[in-house]
Amino acid sequence: MSAALPDPRTARRFRLLDCDWQDGTATLRYAFDEGAPWSECIVFPDAPMLAPARRAAFLRALALLHAIAGVSYYKAGAVARIVSLQPLAGADTLALLQSVYREGLAEFAYRNALRVDPQWDAPLGAAEAAPALGLPRRLLVPLGGGKDSLVTLEALRAGGADVTAVWVGDSPLIAACAARAGVPTLNIRRTLAPELFAANRAGAWNGHVPVTAINSAILACAALLYGYDGIAFANERSASSATLEYDGTPINHQWSKGWDFEQRYAALLRTTVAADLRYFSLLRPWSELAVTRAFARLPQYFDVFSSCNRNFRILGPRPADRWCGQCPKCHFVFLALAPFLPKPRLLAIFGANLLDDETQAEGFDALIEYREHKPFECVGEAAEARAALASLAARPEWREDALVARFRSEILPQLDADALALEPWLRAAGPHGVPAHLQPVLDAIGT
């Protein structure tokens, strides 16, 4: 590292300095030891003036955002101690933040062979009960450009909900999906501190962060600012499943998309920010295969959506088309759609038959955990990927394709046939936080 930018890995403390709000821009500041602040900016377009009670709730949400978003910078040093110069709203807030920086960074720690479980030095404020604000009955629906958020948006719209599509960052692909949906939109801009990229180039620790936790905190601020009583994410039940276990510890690439984060963050918003602000995932009780079946009924999005994460890189090249055809997300979405779409329609979406390409074997093996562990990606459970492949192995139009034929002859005989049925994956199961008045919308996804 240069003298102007000390190596964060040699620091002793990561400090949450302060945050401020002016003219629609939130500025969040952090530092290692006594070094110069690293500042990121989040721009909320056409931000209105707020009445005192809403403004107080917004500032509480902003303080929580400041603490959660710090995980992006903390990882550059992965130091043993975090110091907050601002009081935290009670012990439950501290407990959630500890999980964000520990479970949320578990993959980062595993890949970098680090132990990440920082000690927090933070004053705890009084945990006063948050008031109800009389927020309007309408929903922010975060769009990611992929199938899950589009299923959520369309299900809510079909159920009569007042929805606005929202996304964080500059993504033409998401903007195109929002335009196709034809609903009101909100695009929030987030600019990371430039020092982070400089530190990464110089060799600081880098890797996966719980970005859904960060976006959730941004959208809580947006809901209060613009007047929405709910934020409806699109995280299904497989997001709660660990990617792998290491030394007895579950490591989940999707931890901040999982039920543990959702229920704790939702409760924290209700108790410390605004009693009538609801945070939930509409898809929580559904599997990836059930969601994909629902998406197969939305052909208006087939030529604009993409789940390929290479479209959303902050830095580096993006695919020339919407699908790279090589990454775990491309593999999984292709496989998950195959049982529910006519084969020519699916090949037209991807521009190739990924299951008839022997060079892709290793990628599909990882999806079904055959000689490989599940990829560090937002993909479904290995058991549902095996069920999808078993379904294709019984269909004449698919069974002779290279990887399906290999699965049928080499892998299928090793599996328990009773565990390969597709139908059980199409039923809702497990806990969820969907409000009671939206239960009919939730149920309709599975019909």
Whole-number Å distance between alpha carbons of 327 and 260: 27
Residue labelled with tokens 């379904």? 391
CATH of the domain at 174: 3.40.50
Report angle CA 36, 42, 46 to the nearest 5 degrees. 140
Please report, in tens digits, the pLDDT of each residue of the chain (447 residues total). Answer: 544 678 999 999 999 999 999 999 999 999 999 999 999 999 999 999 999 999 999 999 999 999 999 999 999 999 999 999 999 999 999 999 999 999 999 999 999 999 999 999 999 987 789 999 999 999 999 999 999 999 999 999 999 999 999 999 999 999 999 999 999 999 999 999 999 999 999 999 999 999 999 999 999 999 999 999 999 999 999 999 988 888 778 899 999 999 999 999 999 999 999 999 999 999 999 999 999 999 999 999 999 999 997 765 544 444 456 899 999 999 999 999 999 999 999 999 999 999 999 999 999 999 999 988 888 898 999 999 999 999 999 999 999 999 999 999 999 999 998 899 999 999 999 999 999 999 999 999 998
Residue 106: give the domain boundaries: 8-122+134-281
Tell me the β-bridge partners of 142: 166
In a domain, 305, yes or no: no
In a domain, 233, yes or no: yes
Whole-number Å distance between alpha carbons of 174 and 166: 9
φ/ψ (deg, to 5) at 251? -120, 115
Task: Tell me which of 281, 306, 329 is where a domain ends.
Answer: 281
| Claim to verify: residue 350 and residue 255 sit in the same structural domain | no
* Helix segments in 80-146, DSSP class H: 91-102, 106-111
The set of residues, in sequence order, having a beta carbon less than 8 Å from that of 373 and lying 6+ positions away, is 243, 244, 366
In a domain, 386, yes or no: yes
The answer to whether the beta carbons of residues 432 and 284 sit under 8 Å apart is yes
Number of domains present in the structure of the chain = 2
In a domain, 77, yes or no: yes
In a domain, 301, yes or no: no
Q: 3-state DSSP call for residue 181?
A: helix
| Claim to verify: residue 250 and residue 325 sit in the same structural domain | no
Structure tokens at 8: 């964060």
The set of residues, in sequence order, having a beta carbon less than 8 Å from that of 38 and lying 6+ positions away, is 29, 30, 31, 73, 193, 195, 196
Task: Tell me which of 226, 257, 281 is where a domain ends.
Answer: 281
In a domain, 242, yes or no: yes
The set of residues, in sequence order, having a beta carbon less than 8 Å from that of 361 and lying 6+ positions away, is 403, 406
Write out pLDDT tens, residues 21-76: 999 999 999 999 999 999 999 999 999 999 999 999 999 999 999 999 999 999 99
Q: Within a 10 A sphere around the Cβ of 312, how many other Cβ atoms? A: 17
| Claim to verify: residue 172 and residue 220 sit in the same structural domain | yes
| Claim to verify: residue 116 and residue 208 sit in the same structural domain | yes
